[in-house]
A and B are shown apart, each in its own frame.
Chain A
Amino acid sequence: MKILVCISNVPDTTTKITFTGDNTEFNTAGVQYIVNPYDEIALSRAIELAEDGKGTVTVINVGEAATDPTIRKALAIGADDAVRINAAPRDAYFVATQIAEYAKSNEFDIILCGRESIDYNGSQVAAMVGELLDIPSISIIKKLDYDGSTATIEREIEGGKEVVSVTGKFVASCAEGTAEAKIPNMRGIMSARTKPLQVVEAVAVEEVGKISKFETPAPRGSVKLIPAESAEELIGLLHSEAKVI
């Protein structure tokens, strides 16, 4: 069994988000980068499945050389090898095309992604890869079992879950619940240094759009404090002042 896990290099969750160049570019000064937290969940489930079924886990990232430390982190968590498609990840369609191209020439049984990246929040890559490869894609899953040919998957729906069965190759994007994110141990960190990391040149992709500008949310007004002794006043304020109940 061969599993491909797509990982994004994203700003740490504690990052204060600011922009430069008249709000056209994300300000990367001082930003720590991490493996996208949802991708860690996908990777952790892939490693569990590979242990059970004696398979291999390859991680793929579309990025420039600066993302190598993030890829090494994924290898430390337990992936067997890695591929970096050598290009800036312009948008989801660009990234999905690179991953699909790589997957076409390297047979994978399962392709896993995180449910979304925490920078652009797209939830796009998994379904795009599925479409480009013409195979099923299940988005935002919270459970994945695999018997070697058929996967039983629970996906999130509003107010519940849906259980889907897929036989043959598929792509899925993983949310919390799919697995507990694994933390690399010292042995993993040591061995990650020597695991194979192949660099592949990107294919050309037609541009369909781009981010032209960023905005930061308008600052909120100051808080109106209500004394705890008269907490019941909140209801009147929400009704007549804020008009939300």
Chain B
Amino acid sequence: MSVLVYVEQVEGKFKKSVFEAVSYAKAIADQQGTSLSAISIGNVADTELNELGKYGASKVLKVEADQLKNFINQAYASVIAEAAKKEGANIVVLSNSFSGKGLAPRVAVKLKAGLVDGAVELPTTDGGFSVKKTAFSGKAFAVATLTSENKVIALNPNAFGVKENAASIAIETFNPEVKASDLTAIVKEIVRATNKVSLPDAEVVVSGGRGLKGPENWGMVEELADLLGAATACSKPVSDADWRPHSEHVGQTGIAISPNLYIAIGISGAIQHLAGVSSSKVIVVINKDPEAPFFKVADYGIVGDAFEVVPKIIAALKAHKA
């Protein structure tokens, strides 16, 4: 019995969400009185793999086969399931990223495992193995009790945090056999904006709504986001009107996020929008309507015209940083 964590690499590097998954998996391994191994697929330098030791992984299996250079969930799921069998792991942890969402269900089926996706807390083990997860798009939480011997948990970003827990780590090359039928999907192109913070990973998010009146007014949203190292987001009417791309839409039918700080500018706070952002740790609302429902869930509120308020905040932030 042991715990295995899949460490998703992006261009040979691990993101914070991976170190969170390793920290989380290490805490489960400690709970279970066992050790933590990691599985890395694709080309990652040993110096980067060694970083996993800081968070408690005592071993990492590295898979560098050329045919697995790009993410193919079907093939990666086979490799992870093989790694779990090799390590005798009955609990597999991964990050609930876009790729993780395509991977975890396939791993779970292969291992005949129950799957908890969107986990937000460590499992509790008194009276069954139970994990709290988001449900109803942020309007509630559900506690899933897994009864299968094997278990797969996909951890939400920004839910557990990174916890240092240094272990000495051994790197081991792993060469599982990959079936040709697992490799029929072909990655043609990857387009990634490397100069921007991605929304699901962001610790700070600045979001704009219809109150901004048009796409030409997003300059101040982007400036504020840049100064904060934040990702930009928007409400549904804004993406529906094509002012901003759909990938920025947060809310019940968009992306659910839980950053440390969410700043909503000109968003009234419809129930569907609140569902997607209510697990943010601190919420700031700027709206000219004092009756906007968003103020009811905000930590800080400013009733005023965004076009006057936001430039003041930008100036104050520049002064603060200077």
In the complex, which residues of chain B have a beta carbon less than 8 angstroms from the beta carbon of A14?
A: 271-272
Instruction: Assess the A158–B201 pair: CB atoms within 8 A.
Output: yes
Task: Mark each residue of chain A from 162 to 189: 1 if its CB lies under 8 Å from any CB of chain B, else 0.
Answer: 1111111010000111000000000000
Q: Which of B105, B128, B282 contacts A212 (CB 8 A)?
A: B128
- Given A208-B112, A212-B128, A234-B302: A157 touches B143 (CB 8 Å cut-off): no
B37 within 8 A of A: no
Give per-residue flags for A122-134: 1 if the beta carbon is below 8 A from chain B beta carbons, else 0: 1111111011101
- By a CB distance below 8 angstroms, the chain A residues around B254 are 176
In angstroms, Cα B132 to Cα A217, docked, is 12
22 A-B pairs with C-beta separation under 8 A: A119-B136, A122-B117, A125-B105, A131-B106, A137-B106, A140-B101, A158-B200, A160-B190, A161-B190, A162-B191, A208-B148, A209-B145, A211-B142, A211-B144, A211-B145, A214-B135, A216-B139, A217-B139, A223-B295, A231-B308, A232-B313, A245-B317
Of all chain A residues, the one with the shortest Cβ separation from B192 is A160
A139 to B253, Cβ gap below 8 A?
no
Tell me whether chain A's interface is mostly helix, strand or loop, or mixed: mixed
Instruction: Provide the B1-31 mask, 1 if CB < 8 A to any CB of A, else 0.
Output: 0000000001000010000000000000000
Stretch at the interface among A54-62, A76-84, A236-244: A236-244
B313 near A207 (CB under 8 angstroms)? no
Chain A residues with CB under 8 A of B239: 176
Considering the chains assembled together, what is the distance between the CA atoms of A217 and B297 in angstroms? 11
Nearest CB of chain B from residue A133's CB, rounded to whole Å: 10
A142 within 8 A of B: yes
B224-268 vs A, Cβ < 8 Å mask (1 yes, 0 no): 000010000000000100000011010011101000110000000
| B109 lies within 8 A of A131 (CB) | yes
Which 10 residue pairs of A and B lie closest in terms of their CB atoms, listed nearest first?
A228-B304, A139-B102, A232-B316, A159-B198, A208-B114, A160-B192, A209-B114, A127-B105, A158-B198, A209-B146
Is B184 an interface position by the 8 A CB rule?
yes
Closest CB-CB distance, A65 to chain B, in whole Å? 24
A100-120 at interface with B (beta carbon < 8 Å):
116, 118-120
Whether B90 sits at the interface, judged by CB under 8 Å, is no
- B window 183-205: CB within 8 A of A: 184-194, 196-201, 204
- Tell me whether A155 and B282 are in contact (CB under 8 A): no
Q: B187 touches which one: A38, A162, A244 (CB < 8 A)?
A: A162
**Shortest beta-carbon distance from B265 to chain A in Å:** 11
Establish whether residues A167 and B184, one from each chain, have CB atoms under 8 Å apart when the complex forms: yes
Extra contacts, 11 of them, besides A124-B117, A234-B284 (Cβ < 8 A), are A139-B102, A140-B102, A142-B246, A158-B200, A159-B199, A208-B146, A209-B146, A216-B140, A223-B296, A225-B295, A234-B313
Residues of B bordering A, CB below 8 Å: 10, 15, 71-74, 77, 97-99, 101-106, 108-110, 112-118, 128, 130, 132, 134-148, 181, 184-194, 196-201, 204, 228, 239, 246-247, 249, 252-254, 256, 260-261, 271-272, 278-279, 281-286, 295-305, 308-309, 312-313, 315-317, 320
- Closest B residue to A210 by CB, please name it: B145
Q: Can you list, as one digit per residue, whether each of A195-230 has a CB less than 8 Å from chain B (1) or not (0)?
A: 000000000001111111111110011011111100
Q: Chain B nearest CB: distance from A245 CB in Å?
A: 6
Q: How far is the CA of A215 from the CA of B136 in the complex (A)?
A: 11
Q: Are B320 and A235 in contact, CB atoms less than 8 angstroms apart?
A: yes
Tell me whether A244 and B261 are in contact (CB under 8 A): yes
Give a binary string over A19-50; 1 marks a CB under 8 Å from any B CB, 0 the rest. 10000000000000000011000000000000
Whether B192 pairs with A168 at a CB distance below 8 angstroms is no
Q: Which A residues are CB-close (under 8 A) to B146?
A: 208-209
CA–CA, A239 to B145, complex, Å?
39
